Amino acid sequence: MARVCLIYPRDIGLNFFPLGIGYIAAYLAQKGHQVRILDITQSELKLLLELPRSEVDIIGLSITTPQLALAQNIIHLLREHFPGTPIVVGGIHPSYFKETFLDENDADYLVYGEGEVTMDELCQAIDRGGTQIKDIQGVVYRQGSKSVINPPRPVIGDINQLPLPLREAVNYSAYLQPPGLIRGIWTQRCANLTTSRGCPGQCSYCGVNYIYGRRYRRRSVDNVLAEIDILVERYNVDGLYFMDDTFLLNTNWVEEFCHKLVQRNYCLRWSCYGRVDTIRESMIEAAKQAGCVQIEFGIESGSPAILKRIKKGTSLEQIQAAVNMAHDHGIRALGSFIIGFAEDTEEECQETVELAGKLGLDFTTCYYATPYPGSQIYEEAVKNDCLLEHDFSKWYVRTPNIWRVKLTPEKLVKNRLALLKSCRLRNSIFFMRSPSLMFRMAWLLATHPVALARSILDSMRNRCFDDLGYYFYTHLEGGLGGRNL
């Protein structure tokens, strides 16, 4: 069996436990491999040099598009310090670029799609001397100067069979530091987890289905509760952040889960993502009783025409009803909007700005439409030769000129600022209602002057001081360290 080191390139300061790597690690450990996890920012790259060379047979890296630049730096360093050690890449970015990734980057193998079973089979094959790799579904490998793409692997049918993410491979308490993940709520130890894979939606800007497909697979209620038992008993958590793309789906499941969670009497407070068209009164009532304090809705637009074009499948009535329903049950409603899809007109953007102003959300975010690889709009942008920025390291959902759209960057900036302005008071109240978050922000600002200066420059460059906090966290690099053992 192989000794595997899985690396998570952490490009943002946010302290989420990397669940993808955690699941791969758990599956490999279950199959008898020895696994360690390294979660590193750019400024922590020296940790790579501390890895004992003789104890690592295979290195795996998890890569989404925002993580690409840091991942490339890591691969470069690994090649110098671990010559001859096979490097495997996985995650949505290499999965999408499976035809070209190995040619353009110095990695040996690529696992595309859902990674657990493929990575185990690949590690076993490498351990046996590299034979039979051609028979492993979901792998891309090099043969001479070309990449060979093996057939895809079907997704795992019953995800209850997967072992729980290997949190014990890291200093997990460091991921639970205050202010926790539920913004503005006093949870001291908040854990992230996921209960499902895939999403039945087909939003044109989203890449989720590229990895998991449209079939929604959900763990059983008891399987999820067993994970929560461990989180409470072993790590003493008091908050949960469900990272499912759509947690509030299937009323029966949510209600059963909530009722059983209440019986546990853990008094946890939790947050989740929801679609405005799948929530139901009884579901929200049960969620409230079980400790739900916050629902994040992807609202995206106030224009019915845009909602249709991006295949969101929701209506303005459903949006308002969902926000009201959350509020009626004392649950905070957060919403995110997107401005600047290819065909958006000025009038349609105005409708979005107006809706954001009147919805009464507790916290509002707004980004520019960004055609991430894996999404339908990326395919269209490439086909129509609309990409203006080809260097992924410059891609920010807060940068208005990644691709050419109908509206000029100036108009996009103007509309986004107008939207954020209309929500600034509520956003500020939301932020200020969290003393722990305020205290921590003030402390970080004072102790990281370089990150502060760089974030002010970024805000000026992108003409939006609402984003100062985001840029600051982005530049924090290692300031929230201590995650690795």
Which of ligand B12, ligand SF4, none interacts with 397 (beta carbon under 5 to 8 A by kind)?
ligand B12
Q: Which is nearer to ligand SF4, 26 or 306 (CB)?
A: 306
∠ Cα 189 220 331 (to 5°)? 50
In order of 102, 158, 219, 224, 474, the CA distances from 161 in angstroms are 31, 6, 9, 12, 36
Q: Which is nearer to ligand SF4, 120 or 245 (CB)?
A: 245
Which of ligand B12, ligand SF4, none interacts with 239 (beta carbon under 5 to 8 A by kind)?
none
Which of ligand SF4, ligand B12, none interacts with 275 (beta carbon under 5 to 8 A by kind)?
ligand SF4
Amino acid at 106: D
Closest contact distance (angstroms) between CB of 209 and ligand SF4 is 6
Binding site for ligand B12 (CB under 6 A): 6, 11-12, 14, 16, 18-21, 23-24, 60-62, 64-67, 88, 90-93, 111, 114-116, 119, 194, 206-208, 211, 243, 245, 367, 372-374, 397
How far apart (Å, rounded) are the C-alpha atoms in residues 173 and 485? 11
From the list 275, 411, 475, 483, which residue makes contact with ligand SF4 (rule: CB under 6 A)?
275
Which of ligand SF4, ligand B12, none interacts with 180 (beta carbon under 5 to 8 A by kind)?
none
Tokens 């503005």, residue located? 184
Closest contact distance (angstroms) between CB of 289 and ligand B12 is 25
Q: Which is nearer to ligand SF4, 201 or 400 (CB)?
A: 201
Q: Which is nearer to ligand SF4, 166 or 208 (CB)?
A: 208
How is residue 387 annotated by DSSP?
Answer: B
How far apart (Å, rounded) are the C-alpha atoms in residues 204 and 242? 23
How far apart (Å, rounded) are the C-alpha atoms in residues 114 and 213? 10
- DSSP letter for each residue of 416-441: HHHHHHHHHHHHHHHHHT-HHHHHHH
Residues in the chain: 485
How far apart (Å, rounded) are the C-alpha atoms in residues 94 and 97? 5
C-alpha atoms less than 13 angstroms from C-alpha of 419 in its C-beta half-sphere: 31
How far apart (Å, rounded) are the C-alpha atoms in residues 417 and 468? 13
Binding mask 398-437 for ligand SF4 (x = CB under 6 A): ----------------------------------------
465, 470, 472, 478: CA torsion to nearest 10: 180
Listed in sequence order, the residues at least 6 apart from 52 whose beta carbon sits closer than 8 Å to its beta carbon are: none
Closest contact distance (angstroms) between CB of 245 and ligand SF4 is 3
Binding mask 188-217 for ligand SF4 (x = CB under 6 A): -----------x-xxx--x-x---------
Cis peptide before 449 (omega within 30 of 0): no
Q: Which is nearer to ligand B12, 115 or 274 (CB)?
A: 115
Which of ligand SF4, ligand B12, none interacts with 201 (beta carbon under 5 to 8 A by kind)?
ligand SF4
Strand partners, 190: 239
Tokens 């192989």, residue located? 2
Binding mask 288-307 for ligand SF4 (x = CB under 6 A): ----------x---------
Q: DSSP 3-state helix, strand, coil percentages of the chain (rounded to 5)?
A: 45, 15, 40
Which of ligand SF4, ligand B12, none interacts with 91 (beta carbon under 5 to 8 A by kind)?
ligand B12
From the list 11, 108, 116, 245, which residue makes contact with ligand SF4 (rule: CB under 6 A)?
245
Which of ligand B12, ligand SF4, none interacts with 477 (beta carbon under 5 to 8 A by kind)?
none
How far apart (Å, rounded) are the C-alpha atoms in residues 381 and 377? 6
Which of ligand B12, ligand SF4, none interacts with 246 (beta carbon under 5 to 8 A by kind)?
ligand SF4
Q: Which is nearer to ligand B12, 23 or 257 (CB)?
A: 23
Which of ligand SF4, ligand B12, none interacts with 194 (beta carbon under 5 to 8 A by kind)?
ligand B12
Q: Which is nearer to ligand B12, 115 or 291 (CB)?
A: 115
Q: Which is nearer to ligand SF4, 90 or 207 (CB)?
A: 207
Per-residue burial over 17-38, b if 16 or more Cβ lie within 10 Å, else e, is: bbebbbbbbbbbbebebebbbb
Closest contact distance (angstroms) between CB of 272 and ligand B12 is 11
Which of ligand SF4, ligand B12, none interacts with 198 (beta carbon under 5 to 8 A by kind)?
none
Note the residues at the interface with ligand SF4 (CB under 6 A): 199, 201-203, 206, 208, 245-246, 275, 298
